[in-house]
Amino acid sequence: MIESNPSSDSNSMDAIIGILDTGIWPESESFNDETMGPIPLRWNGTCANGHDSSTFNCNKKIIGARSYGAGEIKSRTPRDMMGHGTHVAYTAAGVEVKDVSYYGLAAVTAKGGSPGSRLAIYQVFSSQNGSHGSTVLAAFDDAIADGVDVLSLSFGSSSFLEQEFINDPIALGAFPSVQNGITVVCSAGNDGPNPGSVVNSAPWILTVAASTIDRVFESDVVLGNNKVIKGTGINFANIQNSPVYPIIYAKSAKKSGVDENATRNCEPNSMDQEIIKGKIVVCDNEDSLYPQINKQDEVKKLGGIGVILIDDELRGVAFNFGTFPMTLISSKDGAKVLSYINSTKNPVATILPTTAPANYKPAPTIAYFSSGGPSTIPKNILKPDIAAPGVNILAAWIGNDTVQTLKGKDPPLYNVFSGTSMACPHVSGIAAAVKSRNPTWSPSAIRSAIMTTAVQTNNMKAPITTEKGTAATPYDFGAGEVITTGPLQPGLVYETTAIDYLNFLCYHGYNIATIKIMANTIPDGFTCPEESSIDLISNINYPSIAISNFDEKAGRRVNRTLTNVAGNVKMEDAKTVYNISIDAPAGLDVQVVPDKLHFSKFDEKLSYQVNFSAANPLKKDVFGSITWSNGKYKVRNTFAISSKSGSVALDKK
């Protein structure tokens, strides 16, 4: 959820964002149309309400809604019964609503990434039928015919089941969508932190990783020695704030004959009820097949009154534990808790209910679950493209919820969720805002504007890190963390042409017959270049550079072309000189020719060449950037170089 409007331009109301997801809850205040003007005349869609037509109503905000799946059309409904689609749709384009919160937590005045944009809903998932590739392809076809400007897909295949483009319904559906001028934005996947786990990595897709925001959901532990241990999680604990409850390490409650690792991880049927009853239990979460909810349920079943879970990765996400006192702490703090337990005969503690402090530092960091590069399908395209807020995101929710509803309370109107699913619509909203401001721009120009203006530093003015505190790389965040205003006026853009994409498919190894299946249209006479190889993928006009199997002795040369998009209003802005600056790691030589670009008019295209070389073999993958600046605009092209001798090892289970 972006709490500032990236564009105040009145034309932003004309952008249409298509959401492929679980549907929408139309009654949410976040989708009211009081401030919306007439529906654009170019809209060709429909509000196919099915059996829910008496209560499900489209308006000037939700201008279309379609439902897919099994059964007759009259039995279907685009109404969201799962919550995911409503959350995503709000994050992309929800209107401003004051004083929203999750039961009082994180109260803000909030709105989506492009609150003036319209929404078109394509329900491709349901709790009864799941989703099928044919359903996704049908939704793509409808969206093209309906006239959307941006498509937002917060789903994808598992990285362990990643498919070739010709078999991937998202890649297949996205290709003709982009050919028809639609920007397609997809989540990078939640299989991190394994390297090489990124999905939705076709070059015609804008692929989004997840980062944290400067707000945490904090649930602290107070020990009997009055030390306070910071924890994370959402709980509305109704226990005393004073440390009066006995605390025990789960390993001390091991049942006879049970493996000690199972006990310390609080796994089912591993702990002695008589020892657990009435105590706060400290659980490990190391090499355990059971998720945290199972540990909570097991301790609760045995009569325990709270859980402190030790986990360095999961603690970055605020899991919802309802009214049960539970929190997650780091291994470093876990050692302090265990040291206290061992230091006294009667250790005691308490777990405080959650607060949501803002201005947390450092932020952003890259979420542990966010799938990362290098991309394996395809090679030589740097994926993910961009990172955006995807952790602890507050957004609209369904009105008939039972799972996330606190006992004795009404269903929450807003809910907190994390995932690259939440990061994707942030970028979809920004893409819509850019399209609104620049209606003639192609999807690749919009992607370039978003990527080349991204930032790679956090709110402490230091390089962005992972949640473990290690330096993040472009394999984690692509071009960097998205910003809201920079993409509206980037100065220059990298336009990836239809021929670039067709050549990419040739370089990737497809023949013309296969390419014709994927492409909506192919120019007359197009054939694959005689010399087609994976290495040539590095040369398509993408707003980042990736080189695999880099040969230090031979070096590598790539070309890029920039289009001047400044000066369409003030002609004097078009006449400008951009100078190059290079950020290269030690051991890699980077030369750019020419080192100045002299633009004289709007929409002028100028090309440059980048020569990479190294005197010695690279011992690991290296990263850097090439930035063009004229004093007003800075356009950064991030690069990643993978050496034959030092490429990252992929952990693909």
Q: Residue 586's domain is classified under what CATH number?
A: 2.60.40.2310
Q: Considering the domain boundaries, does residue 649 fall inside one?
A: no
Give the global pTM.
0.94
Q: Is 114 a catalytic residue?
A: no
Residues 342, 343, 344, 347, CA torsion sign: negative
pLDDT score for 132? 85
Q: Considering the domain boundaries, does residue 401 fall inside one?
A: yes
Query: The domain spanning residue 303 has which CATH number?
Result: 3.50.30.30
Are residues 195 and 249 located together in one domain of the fold? Answer: no
Are residues 341 and 367 located together in one domain of the fold? Answer: no
Residue with tokens 């808790």: 337
Task: Tally the domains of the chain.
Answer: 3
pLDDT score for 520? 78
Of 330, 351, 372, the residue that ends a domain is 351
Cβ contact 366:467 at 8 Å: yes
Are residues 293 and 407 located together in one domain of the fold? Answer: no
Q: Considering the domain boundaries, does residue 623 fall inside one?
A: yes
Phi and psi angles of residue 174, each rounded to the nearest 5 degrees, phi first? -70, -30
Three-state secondary structure call for residue 535: helix
List all residues 6 or more positions away from 394 whose beta carbon is below 8 Å from its beta carbon: 1, 100, 101, 102, 106, 108, 110, 414, 415, 416
Q: Is 607 a catalytic residue?
A: no
Cβ contact 413:396 at 8 Å: yes
**Mean pLDDT, 10 residues at a time, over the chain (653 residues)?**
38 80 96 94 87 80 89 72 97 96 92 95 82 92 98 92 92 97 98 94 98 96 97 94 97 95 96 97 92 94 97 91 96 97 97 94 96 93 98 96 88 96 98 96 98 97 94 98 96 97 96 91 91 94 97 94 86 88 96 97 97 94 97 97 66 36
Are residues 24 and 156 located together in one domain of the fold? Answer: yes
Query: The domain spanning residue 140 has which CATH number?
Result: 3.40.50.200
Are residues 261 and 324 located together in one domain of the fold? Answer: yes
pLDDT score for 371? 97
Q: Is 252 a catalytic residue?
A: no
Of 306, 321, 351, the residue that ends a domain is 351
How far are the Cα atoms of 267, 479, 635, 653 from residue 588, in angstroms, in the given order? 49, 19, 21, 32
pLDDT score for 653? 31
What is the C-alpha to C-alpha distance for residues 479 and 457, in angstroms, rounded to an integer? 11
pLDDT score for 128? 64
Are residues 203 and 264 located together in one domain of the fold? Answer: no
Q: Considering the domain boundaries, does residue 179 fall inside one?
A: yes
Are residues 346 and 285 located together in one domain of the fold? Answer: yes
Q: Considering the domain boundaries, does residue 531 fall inside one?
A: no
Q: Of 21, 80, 142, 191, which one is the catalytic site residue?
A: 21
Residue 592 belongs to domain spanning: 491-496+541-643
Cβ contact 66:139 at 8 Å: yes
Q: Considering the domain boundaries, does residue 510 fall inside one?
A: no
Of 323, 351, 379, the residue that ends a domain is 351
pLDDT score for 174? 98
Are residues 48 and 194 located together in one domain of the fold? Answer: yes
Are residues 574 and 595 located together in one domain of the fold? Answer: yes
Are residues 244 and 205 located together in one domain of the fold? Answer: no
pLDDT score for 49? 65
Are residues 206 and 233 located together in one domain of the fold? Answer: no
Q: Of 84, 87, 426, 508, which one is the catalytic site residue?
A: 84
pLDDT score for 570? 67
List all residues 6 or more positions away from 226 whose beta carbon is below 8 Å from its beta carbon: 243
Are residues 40 and 120 located together in one domain of the fold? Answer: yes
Q: Of 117, 421, 532, 544, which one is the catalytic site residue?
A: 421
pLDDT score for 647? 53
